Amino acid sequence: MNNYGFGSFGFSDVLLQAIKLKGFEEPTEIQRKVIPLILDTELDIIGQAQTGTGKTAAFALPIIEKLKEKAGRLQALVLVPTRELAIQVSEEFNSLRGSKNIHAAPIYGGQSYDTQFRHLKKGVDAIIGTPGRVLDHLNRKTFSIDNISFAVLDEADEMLNMGFIEDIENILSHTPKERRTLLFSATMPERIMALTKKYMGPREIVRTQKSGQTTDLTDQVYYEVKESDKIDALCRIIDTTNEFFGLIFCRTKNDVDFVSSKLADRDYDVEGLHGDINQTMREKILNKFRNKKVNVLIATDVAARGLDIEELTHVINYALPQDAESYLHRIGRTGRAGKEGTAITFITPEEHRKLMHIKKSTQTEIRKQRIPHVKEVISFKREKIISELKNMVEMNVPAEYMNIANNLLNDNEPKKIIAALIKNSYQNELEEKNYGEIRDLFEPQKQNKDLRQSGSLYDKQRNRKKFERRSDHFARKNKSDSESGKIRLFLALGKKDDLTPNTLLEMLKKKAKVPGNKVTGIHINDSYSFFNVTPGEADLIIEKLNSKDKKKRPLVERAKPTK
């Protein structure tokens, strides 16, 4: 370790070895500023820094250095807004301690009390928990914070937004006055500053150069599209990105269900996340996303709080966030750890002024871009298909397939065989007629200031809006009418069976050989689901998915018509 690295802080050899094993080389800005203050002073600390700047290690490392082995009491309490963050911070503590005999445990709602009781019985030195569950344990008297040395509030503004401030104040009232309090937050609203004055002693405020701003590694762009064009626009962005791995924000849980089902209909590997999803299902979805078994996650702001997913290529605001702070929290999840990322925001023409306000508040450059044209999408897919097929050719092919190939080559031209196979496999992706039209709003409409106030222009604008609304109505009606030739099926599986639009499509494809693009209108409830298919596919699905034992209730059947 050099004098400019972690070795300059005076850490023990045990911690320096743990830091080396973690692969940390140079401290980040927040670490350089905070670590010496915790190690060398008795001050309380207020740190303003974005997610992904290394602030967990900034407080974890010096706290670990100061914790005593075999103390026989709880020494540190870290409060975080979500269960995911509790797990992540706890894992960070335990990985940074190296061989030092101290232990951290996560305490959060949704995990069984028996599991938490076992951790506590073994003895822990640091608890990382959500306010509600920590307060519940304090009321049960299963552990005490009367003698802790450190109280840490991580993501304080998120806890404020989630309504935890009263719980936090209740918890802090149980801690000793001589404890040290460390607070970290991306933003500093008045309520948090009032909290610091009430519960902190002499304190130091630390701000990084980019506090309250976005990272330089995040490329920020926006697309101006009609609401009805957003799904097609989103698909074109995904389709023209190499190795897309993105988090997409919607405003409501209904929007999450709508967008995720629409993408699943089009064979994308997608999952949705919102407040109605139970904890077990939530963890399964997040594990699938972290392990890249799905590459698109649709979520609400509430459901995404505390998520820390590495290597996101994109954060997409399908719906414009409410304010600048929400915008920063959303897009701060990409462009991290030295890797570039892209933040994309969809706006309708009416939302342009609101986006410009966010741009001014965040003091960042958000530039306008054009939605990729269909020809660009097809060109991109064509290159991708060629690359994939070349990789397939290089793989070892079993003899039975080679025999089929030899038989085909005896009677047909090689180029025609390849072309036929490509057409059969990729026809939907390579023909322009299969793509929806998106109205090009890239060029700003020029208007004369004098004409803007004239009645004639006003009438034209009003009539145009009426026409657009009427066009949208007929588009939706025609879309609805096109479903009239399909059969609505009932499936006796739902969310409690871990069913999602994606797993439903996988099941239909595997068991009935029905491709995902043939299934529409997916709606999943807790214990049952509905979806639409053509009459022929409906008969096939009913035949393949139901048991031949007539005594057993059918798994799938035609839905009863509504009255």
The per-residue DSSP string of 130-183 comes to -HHHHHHHHHHTSS--TT-SEEEE-SHHHHHHTT-HHHHHHHHTTS-TTSEEEE
Under the banding of pLDDT at 50, 70 and 90, the label for residue 561 is: low
Cα 478 from Cα 471, distance rounded (Å): 10
Same domain, yes or no: 263 and 286: yes
Cα 110 from Cα 241, distance rounded (Å): 36
Under the banding of pLDDT at 50, 70 and 90, the label for residue 376 is: confident
Same domain, yes or no: 169 and 269: no
Cα 97 from Cα 414, distance rounded (Å): 62
Do 427 and 435 meet the contact criterion of CB atoms below 8 Å apart? no
Last residue of a domain, one of 371, 397, 413: 371
Q: Say yes or no to pLDDT of 386 above 90.
A: no
Last residue of a domain, one of 154, 188, 207: 207
Please give the structure tokens belonging to residue 261: 């089902």
Residue with tokens 């719980």: 167
For 373-418, the DSSP string reads PHHHHHHHHHHHHHHHHHHHHHS---HHHHHHHHHHHHHS-HHHHH
Cα 89 from Cα 399, distance rounded (Å): 52
Do 279 and 306 meet the contact criterion of CB atoms below 8 Å apart? no
Is there a domain that residue 171 lies in? Answer: yes
Helix/strand/coil percent split, the chain, to 5: 50, 15, 35
Same domain, yes or no: 358 and 410: no
Same domain, yes or no: 40 and 159: yes
Please give the structure tokens belonging to residue 127: 């608890």
Cα 345 from Cα 139, distance rounded (Å): 44
Domain count for the chain: 5
Three-state DSSP state, 464 = helix
Q: Say yes or no to pLDDT of 214 above 80.
A: no
Task: State the SS3 of 289-322.
Answer: HHCCCCCEEEECHHHHCCCCCCCCCEEEECCCCC
Is there a domain that residue 231 lies in? Answer: yes
The predicted model scores a pTM of 0.50
Same domain, yes or no: 110 and 37: yes
**Most confident by average pLDDT, 78-87, 424-433, 449-458, 459-468:** 78-87
- The radius of gyration of the chain from alpha carbons, rounded to an integer in Å, stands at 28
Cα 295 from Cα 280, distance rounded (Å): 20
The confidence score (pLDDT) of residue 464 equals 46
Same domain, yes or no: 250 and 199: no
Is there a domain that residue 213 lies in? Answer: no
Cα 275 from Cα 300, distance rounded (Å): 8
Is there a domain that residue 386 lies in? Answer: yes
Cα 94 from Cα 79, distance rounded (Å): 16
Three-state DSSP state, 78 = strand
The pLDDT mean for the chain works out to 82
**End-to-end Cα separation, the chain, in angstroms:** 75
Cα 171 from Cα 167, distance rounded (Å): 6
Same domain, yes or no: 324 and 398: no
CATH of the domain at 332: 3.40.50.300
Same domain, yes or no: 397 and 364: no
Q: Say yes or no to pLDDT of 443 above 60.
A: no
The confidence score (pLDDT) of residue 173 equals 92
Is there a domain that residue 550 lies in? Answer: yes
The confidence score (pLDDT) of residue 439 equals 75
Percent of the chain with pLDDT over 90: 34
Is there a domain that residue 563 lies in? Answer: no
Percent of the chain with pLDDT over 70: 86
Structural domain boundaries enclosing 547:
486-558
Q: Say yes or no to pLDDT of 41 above 90.
A: yes
Q: Say yes or no to pLDDT of 492 above 60.
A: yes
Do 134 and 171 meet the contact criterion of CB atoms below 8 Å apart? yes
Same domain, yes or no: 48 and 88: yes
Last residue of a domain, one of 318, 348, 371: 371
CB proximity list for 335: less than 8 A, separation 6 or greater: 214, 215, 216, 217, 218, 219, 341, 342, 343
The confidence score (pLDDT) of residue 305 equals 66
The confidence score (pLDDT) of residue 124 equals 93
Do 153 and 79 meet the contact criterion of CB atoms below 8 Å apart? yes
The confidence score (pLDDT) of residue 508 equals 92
Q: Say yes or no to pLDDT of 232 above 70.
A: yes
Is there a domain that residue 212 lies in? Answer: no
Same domain, yes or no: 203 and 229: no
Same domain, yes or no: 473 and 491: no
Cα 382 from Cα 432, distance rounded (Å): 12
Least confidently predicted of 106-110, 193-197, 359-363, 531-535: 359-363
Averaged pLDDT for residues 65-86: 91
Same domain, yes or no: 82 and 106: yes
**Most confident by average pLDDT, 23-37, 55-69, 369-383, 431-445:** 55-69
Is there a domain that residue 1 lies in? Answer: no
> Which residues face 368 on adjacent strands?
222
Burial of residue 464 (number of CB atoms within 10 Å: 0-12, 13-18, 19+): exposed
Least confidently predicted of 227-236, 477-486, 537-546: 477-486
Least confidently predicted of 43-47, 238-242, 249-253, 556-560: 556-560
CATH of the domain at 490: 3.30.70.330
